[in-house]
Every structure is written in C-alpha cells, then in structure tokens.
C-alpha cells in the first residue's frame, strides 16, 4: 500500500480476503500497514487465521483493539467467499466488531489505481465460459464503480469507460480470455492487481465506513453474482 493510502486510513482496520486463489490479511494501525499474502488456493481455511495472528502481532495489538473488519465479499470462488465470511463472522462476533464487505473487483481496481491507473476493467475467471467483471474510475484516488458488477460471457462485456483514454486491465479473467485485451484498441495489464489483496482493501473500507456502509456482523452479505447456479461448478474448479 502506498504511503498516501496508509496516511488516509485513521481507523484500525483488519482486512481479510480468500475469494480467489490468493489468500491475504492486512492490518492498518497507527498509520502503518502490516500485510500477509499467499497463493494457496486449497489452504485458505488453514492459512487465514495464522495470517490474522501475524499481522496483529506485528502491530503489537489485540483483536479487541481493531475498529473494523473488512472482508472480501466476492465475487469469486464460492468456497473462498464462504471461508472469508465465516471467519469474519467468528472474529467479529467474539469482539462485537462492525464489518464491511469490500468487492474483490474493487480491491483489484484499487491496486491498479495506486499503481497509476485512472480507468480499470477488472475481471475474474468465473469458469463455465464466463467472467465476473466491473469497470472503475479513480475518484480522488478511490476505485469507484461505473454501472454494476456483472457475470457474463467475455464477448458480452460492453465498455462504459472513455475509450479515448487508457483503460487498464487486471485479473485472472484476462489470462483465461486474452481476447478481452483487444478491446478499445488494446488494454495494458496491471500484473500487480491480478488477485485481490487485503492490503488494498483498507482505504476502500475507510471510505465505505465514512459513507455509512459498515454494519453489524448479523448483516454480513457475501456477493456471488450467480449463486443460483452453484450446482454447475466442477470439482476443483470453484
């Protein structure tokens, strides 16, 4: 996370994400950021709590000192989303902490924006010939959604961004469907933002909290985008 992002975050925020192949935890406290990340798609449930313990230990605080828990709400892997939300529930309930769901697509877009992008098309491979995708612009350094997040076939993506200006691509959707990169005369890829990383969630969580979007843990809401077709997923491909 950039120095600017850390300074903009005054709350002590614990951020968690397991919605894709990447597993990450981050903590902002006293304008410092502490981060853990691993690419371990089948070990999220084993990895996340030790990561939480590590970032709290690095900051020398306890969970009770945290002001807010931000969690990856999806879209992404159905199993990964469930792991993230269930662990968030357990942590938040024990300390009566407020929570805030952060879009995985917005988290990726925020990473790209902090790397210099002004317009971002974020896409995650959704399997079954589809991608989860969303379009974002930088507004005062914050990834801001244009229209809505969608799950669709790659050739159904319709850009609402300014095609006369650079549109940066990020996410696994472009690995699975590289033809998307041919849109708007060619989209550069931000490899830094290939997966959502919890360290980029804090500034989004801070802004969301200021906008009144944090809730009690009882109101935690995962976002699947196509939860009506979970039965179609293939073993090992969720």
From the DSSP assignment, how many helices (H) and strands (E) are in the chain?
6, 9
Order the strands of the 142-152 sheet from edge to edge. 142-152, 131-139, 119-125, 168-170
Q: What is the pLDDT of residues 180-237, one digit of tens each?
A: 999 999 999 999 999 999 999 999 999 999 999 999 999 999 999 986 444 333 334 3
Is this structure's pTM higher than 0.95? no
Q: d(Cα 165, Cα 162) in Å, to the nearest integer?
A: 6
Give the β-pairing of 68-74 and 99-103.
parallel
Question: To the nearest 5 percent, what fractions of the chain are helix, strand and coil?
Answer: 40, 25, 35
Question: What is the architecture, at CATH level 2, of domain 3-104+196-232?
Answer: 2-Layer Sandwich (3.30)
Span(s) in the chain for CATH 3.30.420.40 = 3-104+196-232, 111-193
Tell me which of 4.10.410.60, 3.20.19.10, 3.30.420.40, 3.90.76.10 is the CATH number of domain 111-193.
3.30.420.40
Order the strands of the 32-39 sheet from edge to edge. 32-39, 22-29, 13-17, 68-74, 99-103
DSSP H helices, 96-197, are 104-114, 173-176
Q: Bridge partners of 14?
A: 27, 69
> For residue 45, how many other CB atoms are within 10 A of its CB?
16
What radius of gyration do the chain's Cα atoms show?
A: 17
Tokens 């612009």 identify what position?
A: 137
pLDDT tens track, the chain, 238 positions: 333 343 445 799 999 999 999 999 999 999 899 999 999 888 999 999 999 999 999 999 999 999 999 999 999 999 999 999 999 999 999 999 999 999 999 999 999 999 999 999 999 999 999 999 999 999 999 999 999 999 999 999 999 999 999 999 999 999 999 999 999 999 999 999 999 999 999 999 999 999 999 999 999 999 999 864 443 333 343 4
């Amino acid at each position: 996370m950039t120095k600017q992002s850390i300074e903009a975050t005054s709350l002590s925020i614990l951020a968690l994400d397991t919605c894709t192949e990447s597993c990450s935890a981050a903590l902002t406290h006293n304008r410092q950021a502490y981060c853990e990340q691993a690419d371990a798609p089948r070990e999220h449930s084993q990895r996340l709590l030790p990561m939480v313990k590590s970032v709290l230990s690095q900051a020398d605080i306890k969970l009770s000192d945290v002001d807010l828990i931000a969690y990856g709400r999806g879209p992404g892997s159905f199993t990964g989303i469930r792991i993230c939300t269930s662990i968030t529930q357990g942590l938040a309930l024990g300390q009566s902490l407020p929570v805030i769901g952060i879009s995985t697509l917005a988290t990726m877009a925020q990473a790209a924006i902090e790397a210099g992008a002004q317009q971002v098309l974020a896409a995650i491979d959704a399997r079954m010939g589809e991608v989860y995708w969303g379009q974002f612009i930088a507004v005062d350094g914050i990834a801001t959604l244009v229209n809505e997040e969608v799950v669709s076939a790659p050739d159904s993506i319709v850009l609402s961004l300014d095609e006369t200006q650079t549109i940066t691509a990020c996410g696994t959707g472009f690995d699975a469907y590289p033809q998307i990169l041919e849109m708007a005369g060619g989209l550069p890829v931000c490899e830094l933002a290939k997966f959502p990383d919890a360290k980029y969630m804090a500034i989004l969580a801070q802004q969301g909290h200021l906008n009144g979007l944090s809730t009690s843990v009882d109101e935690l809401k995962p976002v699947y985008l196509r939860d009506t077709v979970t039965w179609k997923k293939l073993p090992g491909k969720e």
